[in-house]
Every structure is written in structure tokens, then in C-alpha cells.
A and B are shown apart, each in its own frame.
Chain A
Amino acid sequence: MKKQITKISKEKEYKKYVNKKVPKPSYLKNSLWAFFVGGAICTIAQFITNTLKDFGLNKTDANTVTVIIMVFLGAFLTGLGIYDKLGKKAGAGSIVPISGFANSIVAPAMEFKREGYVLGVGAKMFSLAGPVLVYGFGSSVIIGLLYYFFTR
């Protein structure tokens, strides 16, 4: 009986100790980082779009090429190890832009390279991008169907 009581109180103590040690997220600081890094990434993209438009691309093509360039930059900087360093500070500021999508593909693919090029790189590339594509494509088809039946 006594043993049990001490066990429970120890557990409680441990929980208290853990709660004390787990760092509280500092909302303001994290949000500022996310705002400035996310904003900066979008501003760079705007610069690329404007430059492409100056070269004579139409709006849709300029947007597509901008996305391709941002994906390339995200993947390349992840390979160099720079993007993950940035991500530690910037949090959602580097995850939410499309370059973060590229990051989510390259990071696990590099990590699992030793498991081979098919089941390692090929499969793990999509450990995070896969769900995004499933829900993205899924919702686009559903929206298309709804649009078809409601606009007839």
C-alpha cells in the first residue's frame, strides 16, 4: 500500500518536473519570425513573377514558372542544409510557403537514401507530400463535381 502511494506521488512529481522543463512556446517571438520569413519568401516570389512578366510571359505562365523556381530553391537549399536551419527559427514561415513543400519532400528522401532508391528515396519523398496531394487533389475533384452539378 505504502509503496503504491509513493509511486503515485513520484509520478505526480515527475509530471510537474516535466511541465516545468518543457519550454513554453513564446507566441509573439515565433509569430514575428513566421511573419518576416514567410513575408520575405513571398516577396522574393513576387520579384520573380514581375521579372518573368517583363520577359513577356502571361499571368498564368508567370505564376507557374514562379512556383517551379520556388520549389527548386526550396529543394536546393534543403540539400545544402540551409533550409532546415532557417526552419528552426522561422517555423511556419518556412513550412507554409511552397518552398516548404519542396523541403518536406527532400528532407525525408535524403534521410532514407540508405534504404535504396525505390523504397527509400522514391517512397519516403511522399511521407509528407503524399497527404498534401491526396487531400489537395481530392478536394479539387469534389469541388469540380459540385461546381458541375450546381451550375447546370
Chain B
Amino acid sequence: MDYIRAFIVGGIICVIGQLLMDGTKLTPAHILVSFVTTGAILTALGIYEPIAKFGGTGATIPLTGFGYSLAKGAMDSVKKAGLIGAFTGGIQSTAGGVAAAVVFGYIMAVIFNPKSKK
């Protein structure tokens, strides 16, 4: 059952991105940035948490989920550590993904060469 929920929630979030791409002049870069920011804001407003509970990875794997863990990390750290948590929390909670993206991204770029476009 959680597979179906992940499929539907993840699919819908991607369709929103696709409609923004087709219907407006936004580039993928603009969409990624606005998805992360939107995810963070929705989390701060308490709207994204129930979506994440329901959708599982369907809500956490799209980039809105990156914003979700940034905002959630910041708020949780503020609860524990006070003001300094605002600066450490978000990056702490996403550190694994960001470090993986930098390291794996670098390794793959060094190993592989771009395929000629046909």
C-alpha cells in the first residue's frame, strides 16, 4: 500500500513540475529552485508534514522533500539548541544527500565522458 501512495504522491508532484515547464517559460533551474523553496515554506506552515506522512518517499524524494528536510531540520534544531540551530539544523539534516551529490557527482564526472548527442 505504501508503494501505491508513494507512486501517486511522487507522480503528482512531478506532474505539477511538468505543467509549470510546459505552461510557463520557467526553465528546469527555476523549477528546481522554486520546488525546494516551496517545500521549505509548506513545511514551516505545517502543510508538508501530513503529505510526507501519507506519501512516504513519494513526498521526500522529489525536491520539495529536500526543502521539507531543510525546514524540518532547522525547526527541530531550534527546539533543541536555540538560535544556533537555525543555522546548523537545515544543513545537518540534509548533509548526507548533499555530500553524496558532491562526491558521487565528482567521481562520475571524472570517470565518464559525455555521450555524443544524436
Contacts and interface: CB of A to CB of B under 8 A. Distances in A.
Contact of B7 (A43, A125, A128): A43
A136 B66 contact: yes
Interface string A102-129: 1011110111010001000110010011
Interface residues of B, number: 80
B109 A45 contact: no
A42 B96 contact: no
A128 B28 contact: yes
Chain B interface, >50% SS class:
helix
A72 B97 CA distance: 10
B7 A71 contact: no
Interface in B51-106: 55-58, 60-67, 69-71, 73-75, 77-79, 82-83, 85-87, 89-91, 94, 96-98, 100-102, 104-106
Interface residues of A, number: 78
Contacts, number: 276
B38 to A, nearest CB: 9
Contacts of B35: 96
Contact of A79 (B13, B19, B108): B108
